[in-house]
Amino acid sequence: MKVLLTVTSLLLSTALLLVGHGLQLTLLPLRAGAVGMSEFIIGLSASCYFLGFVVGCLAIPRILRRVGHIRGFGVLTAIMICALLSLEMLDQWQAWLVLRFFTGAAISGLYTVIESWLNSQSTAETRGRILSVYTFVTLIAMMGGQFLINVGPVDSSTPFSIAAIFLALAILPVGMTRRMAPQPVEPTQFQFSLLYRRSRSAFAGALLSGLVVGSFWSLGAVFASSYSTSPMDVTWFMSTAIAGGALLQYPIGLVSDRFDRRIVLTLLCVGGAVTAAAVAMSIGLPWYLASVFLFGAMVMPLYAIALATAADVSKSDEFVQIGTSVLLLNAIGAALAPLPLGQLMAIAGPSALFWAFTGLCLAMAMFLAVQFRQPRAVSVDEQIPFEAAAADGSPVGFEMDPRGVEEEAIADSPDSPIDGQADNRENAA
C-alpha cells in the first residue's frame, strides 16, 4: 500500500488518459463511417495508427532522454489532443492517415513514460502487485471510455470534446506531483529471430493477437454499427468483448500454469475460431452478446499467454528484449491486418470480419498443433507463474515484470530443434 500511495498521481493520470484513449479508439471508426469513408480507408487509417505505435516505441525513448518524463508526458498528451480535435474538424482521408499515425506514436510514448515511472517506484517484492494494479486500471479505464461514446452523436463535436477533456485532465496529476521523475529510459531493443528461436508458439500467438485483436479494435465498432439501431449497441458490443478478456485473462493464465502453454494457446485459437463464427451467426439473436463475451475471453488473453510462453524459455537477461519483440510483433500484426480486412468487409459485408477471424484462428491453431511434434525444453513444473498483461503498453513495462528477474529458465529453443535437443534438456534441467 505504501508503494501504491507513491504512484497514486501517476495511476490517476493513467486512468484519465485511458478513458479518453478508449473513447477515441472506438469513436474514430464510427466517425469515419459517418462522414462517408469506406471500410478500406477506415482499415488503412487503423494501420497507420498501429504503425505510429511501432515507430513511437522505437523513437520516443530518445526524445524522453532529452526532455524528461513530466515534460514528455505533457507534450505527448498535447499532441494527442491536437490530433484528436483536428480529426473532428477534417474529413479528408489523407489527413486522417497522418493524424492517426501521430496519435499512435504519442500513445506509445505515453505508455513509455507511465511504465518507466512505475518501474522506478517498484522493488523486486512489489513489481508483481504494481503490475497487476496497473493492468486492472488500464482495462477498467478503457472499458469506461466505451460508455462515453453516447454523450452525443458521433457526427457532432461533443464526444471528441469529452475525449479531449479527459486527455487534458490526465496532465494535472502528473504535472502537480512533487515526486522526482525517473531516470531517462534506454532505447528499445528487440530481436524477432531470437523470439522465434526460443518459441515458435509464442511468436505465432503474438502475431495472431495483433491480427485479430488489433483488427477488432480498428473495425469492431464498424461491424457493430452496421447491425445496430443506436450508439449504445456499439458500446455494449465493445465493452462486452473487453469484459470477457479482462475477467477471464487471469483464470486462463492460472490454467496455463498447470498445463503446457502450447496446448492453452492452441485451445484459445480453436475457441477464438468457434466464438468468432458464433458472433457472425448470432447477429440479432438473444445470445449475440454472450458470443461476443466469449470471443473476447478467447482472443484477448492471447497476448498475455504468448508472453508467458516466451518467458518460460527465456534467460532472465533476455526477457526485456524478448518481451519487446512480443509487443512489437503484436503491433505489427495490428498494423497489417485492418487494411485487407477492411477491404474484405467492403466487398463481402461487415460479417466477413468475424469469418476472417475464424479463418485466422484456425490457421494458427494448425500451425501450433504442428509444434507438438517437437519436445519442449521446460516441463510444466518449470514454467514461470503467469502474470496478467495488456497488449497496450511499452517495452519499458517488461522491466517491471517480475519474470524478468527470475533465475535463468533455459538456454535454447522449446518448440523447435535448434542447436541440439540434448543440450536443450540439459540446460533446462
What pLDDT digit, counting tens, does each position of 46-74 carry?
A: 999 999 999 988 888 888 777 777 888 88
Please spell the DSSP secondary structure of 163-180, one letter per residue. Answer: HHHHHHHTHHHHHH--SP
The pLDDT value given to residue 167: 94
The pLDDT value given to residue 95: 94
Given a cut of 70, is residue 405 above it in pLDDT? no
* Contact between 203 and 414 (Cβ < 8 Å): no
The CA dihedral of 378, 383, 384, 388, to the nearest 10 degrees, is: 120
Given a cut of 60, is residue 297 above it in pLDDT? yes
* Contact between 173 and 12 (Cβ < 8 Å): yes
Percent of the chain with pLDDT over 70: 83
Distance CA 417, CA 119 (A): 36
Given a cut of 50, is residue 412 above it in pLDDT? no
Given a cut of 60, is residue 406 above it in pLDDT? no
Residue range 396-414: mean pLDDT, rounded: 55
The pLDDT value given to residue 408: 40
Is 217 or 189 the better-scoring residue by pLDDT? Answer: 217
Which pairs from 98-102 meet CB under 8 Å and 24+ separation?
98/48, 100/28, 100/45, 100/46, 100/48, 100/49, 100/52, 101/48, 101/49, 101/51, 101/52, 101/55, 102/52
Domain 2-428: give its CATH code: 1.20.1250.20
The pLDDT value given to residue 149: 86
Least confidently predicted of 295-309, 376-390, 415-429 = 415-429
The pLDDT value given to residue 428: 36
Question: From residue 208, how far is each of 11, 200, 272, 309, 363 by CA, in Å?
Answer: 30, 12, 11, 14, 10
Distance CA 307, CA 118 (A): 20
pLDDT band for position 424 (50/70/90)? very low
The pLDDT value given to residue 421: 37
Please spell the DSSP secondary structure of 342-411, one letter per residue. Answer: HHHHHHH-TTHHHHHHHHHHHHHHHHHHHHTTSPPSS-GGGSPPP----SS--TTHHHHSGGGGSPP--S
Least confidently predicted of 212-221, 260-269, 275-284, 415-424 = 415-424
For residue 189, count other CB atoms closer than 10 A to its CB.
11
The pLDDT value given to residue 423: 37
Distance CA 98, CA 428 (A): 47
CA angle 415, 131, 83 (to 5 degrees): 100
Percent of the chain with pLDDT over 90: 38
Distance CA 215, CA 335 (A): 8
Given a cut of 60, is residue 422 above it in pLDDT? no
The pLDDT value given to residue 125: 64
- Single pTM value for the model: 0.84
The pLDDT value given to residue 3: 58
pLDDT band for position 20 (50/70/90)? very high
Terminal Cα-to-Cα distance of the chain (whole angstroms): 38
The pLDDT value given to residue 2: 59
Given a cut of 80, is residue 330 above it in pLDDT? yes
Q: Which amino acid is at 396?
A: V
Helix residue ranges per DSSP H, 259-301: 261-281, 288-299
The pLDDT value given to residue 398: 65
The pLDDT value given to residue 183: 65
Residue range 379-391: mean pLDDT, rounded: 71
Distance CA 379, CA 428 (A): 9
Residue range 182-204: mean pLDDT, rounded: 79
Q: What average pLDDT does the structure give for the chain?
A: 83
* Contact between 363 and 204 (Cβ < 8 Å): no
The pLDDT value given to residue 182: 62
Given a cut of 80, is residue 128 above it in pLDDT? no
* Contact between 350 and 219 (Cβ < 8 Å): no
Distance CA 240, CA 297 (A): 10
Question: From residue 205, how far is each of 240, 268, 368 by CA, in Å?
Answer: 23, 10, 9
Residue range 17-30: mean pLDDT, rounded: 92
Q: Which is it for the CA torsion 59, 64, 66, 72, positive or negative? A: positive
What pLDDT digit, counting tens, does each position of 131-151 carry?
A: 777 888 888 898 888 888 888
Give the domain ranges of the chain.
2-428
And the C-alpha cell for 169? 485532465
